Amino acid sequence: MCEAEQHNHQSPSRRGILRWGAAALPAAAGVTALAWPTQANGTASAAAGSGAYYKAGRGDTLRGIAGRFLGSEQRWTELYRLNRQVLDKSGEPRPGQRLELPESPDGATTRNFAPLPATAKPLSVPPEGYRLDRIGDAFYAVTAGGTQAAFLVTSAGVVVIDAPPSLAEALPAAIRRVTSRKVTHLVYSHDHADHTANASAFGDVIRIAHTATAERIKANQDPGRPMPTVTFDDRYRLDLGDQQLLLSYPGANHEAGNILIHAPRQRAAMMVDLVMPGWAPFRAWGTADSVPGVLRAHDELARMDLDTYVGGHVHRLGTMEDIKVSREFVRDLWEATGKAIAATDMAPYFGKVEPGNNWAGFDLYLQAVADKVEPVIYRKWLGRLGAVDVFTRENALTVALSQIVDAPRDL
Ligand SMILES: [Zn+2]
C-alpha cells in the first residue's frame, strides 16, 4: 500500500495537473499521453477518453485513482467504463497496466455519466406535449416530462388515478380526447405531491385512498390534496359501470399507504414509484418508507399475471419483464449489501475518529460497506438499466442502514 502511495505521490501538485488536456499531465505523476489503440467494439457504454493515461502502481484501485486525478472517488465508474475491456475479472488494475483517463472538460469534479441504454431513453413526444397510451379497452396512461398518471373510462364515469401538478393540463386534455364522460372518482396511489398535488382540480369527486395516505394528506395540509372520501386498509374493489379496479395494499413500501391498483380486464397494474421501467431506482427509492417493503412489493407484483405496468415515472410503460428485472436489481443490491456488511468489521472505523463521535465512526463504516457494494452492482448492471452509476452508492447506504435497523427475517 505504501509503495503504491509513494508511486502516486510523486507529483507534489497533483491538483495542478487537472487543468485538462493530455499535455498538461506530467509523466512524473504516472500519467502519460500515449496513443492507445481504439477499441474495436466501441459500445454505447464507452466513455469519452481524454487520450491521457495513468500507469497503475501496486495497490492502486480505480476509486483511488479517480480520487487523485479526477477530483472525486465517485468518478471511478468512468475509469471502469473506459477501461473495462482491459481490466481483469477483479475490475481493479494490475501494476504497470495503463489506464486511459476520461475527459474532464472543466478540469475535474463533474461526473460523466454512462449513456442511457435503449430501454431507458426518452420516447418521442407528440405535438400535444404528452404521450397517451391505451391499455386494453378502456385504461389509459398519460406521460409527460417523466411523470405518469392514468385513467379508466367506464360507462358510468371516469376514474382518474393520481393528479400530478406537472400533468395539470395534459391529464384533463387526454381525458377529453377519449371521452365526454365526467370524472367521478379519483384514486390516490399514495400521498406524494409530485403525483397528487393537483387533485383539487377535479373538484367534488369520490376520492379513494389507503388509510395511511389519508393520514399523510391530513398532516400535510395541502389544499391541492383534499381529503379522501373513501379509505381502506387491505383491499378495495371499485365496480363502476362496466369496469373494475382492484386496490390492494402490500404493506409500507415506497411510502406507507402506496397501493397496488389492478385493472384485471386490461391485464394491467399501476404501482407508483416502485418499478422504474428500464431504470435503476431513484435516490433512496424516492425517500422509501420501507426498503424491505420495496422488495416485498416487487415480489407481489412479480406474482401477478400482467401485460402492462404503470409506474408513475420515466418515459414509458412497463411490462412483466421490467418488473422482473427491477426485482432482480433490488435483490442484487440487497444481497450485495448483506455480504458487504458481513465482511466489514465496524470497530476499526470507530478507532479512526474522536472517541465518542459515533456519527463519524458510523459514516466511515457505512461508506466502507458502500465501497464494496457499488462495484458488484455496477459490473453486473451497467448497460442493463439506465443510471446505474447515479444513485447506486446512495441506495447501498440506504439498504445498509435498513438491514441494520429493519433487520427483516423474511428476506
Ligand atoms: Zn412517491
- Comparing 100 with 48, the larger pLDDT belongs to 100
Ligand 1 midpoint to CA 5 (Å): 45
pLDDT at 390: 94
CA dihedral 209, 212, 214, 218 (to 10 degrees): -160
Q: How confident is the model at residue 193 (pLDDT cuts 50, 70, 90)?
A: very high
- For 302-313, how does the pLDDT look when each residue is reduced to its tens digit (9 = 90+)? 999 999 999 999
Contact between 329 and 281 (Cβ < 8 Å): yes
Looking at the chain, the whole-number percentage of residues with pLDDT higher than 90 is 75
Per-residue pLDDT, 85: 87
pLDDT of residue 46: 39
Pair 268, 308: CB distance under 8 Å: yes
| Mean pLDDT value of segment 179-207 | 98
Distance between Cα 169 and ligand 1 center (Å): 21
- Ligand 1 center from residue 407 Cα (angstroms): 23
- Tens digits of residue pLDDT in 112-157: 889 999 999 999 999 999 999 999 999 999 999 999 999 999 999 9
Q: What is the pLDDT of residue 48?
A: 64
pLDDT at 12 over 50: no
Mean of the pLDDT values across residues 323-351? 97
Average pLDDT for the chain = 87
For ligand 1, a single-atom ion, which residues have Cβ within 5 Å? 192, 273, 286
**Domain ranges in the chain with CATH number 3.60.15.10:** 123-276+286-321
- What separation in Å is there between the alpha carbon of 113 and the centre of ligand 1? 24
The CATH classification of domain 123-276+286-321, taken from the options 1.10.760.10, 2.120.10.30, 3.40.640.10, 3.60.15.10: 3.60.15.10
The predicted model gives 85-112 an average pLDDT of 81
> Per-residue pLDDT for 108 more than 70?
no
Distance 162 CA to ligand 1 centre (A): 11
Q: What is the pLDDT of residue 52?
A: 81
> What is the CA(120)–ligand 1 centre distance, in A?
20
Ligand 1 center from residue 309 Cα (angstroms): 16
In this predicted structure, what is the pLDDT of residue 209? 98
pLDDT of residue 17 exceeding 50: no
Cell of 223: 389544499
Distances (CA, A) of 206 to 158, 179, 200, 209, 240: 11, 19, 11, 10, 12
Nearest to 198 by CA among 173, 219, 176, 172: 172
**At 156, which amino acid appears?**
A
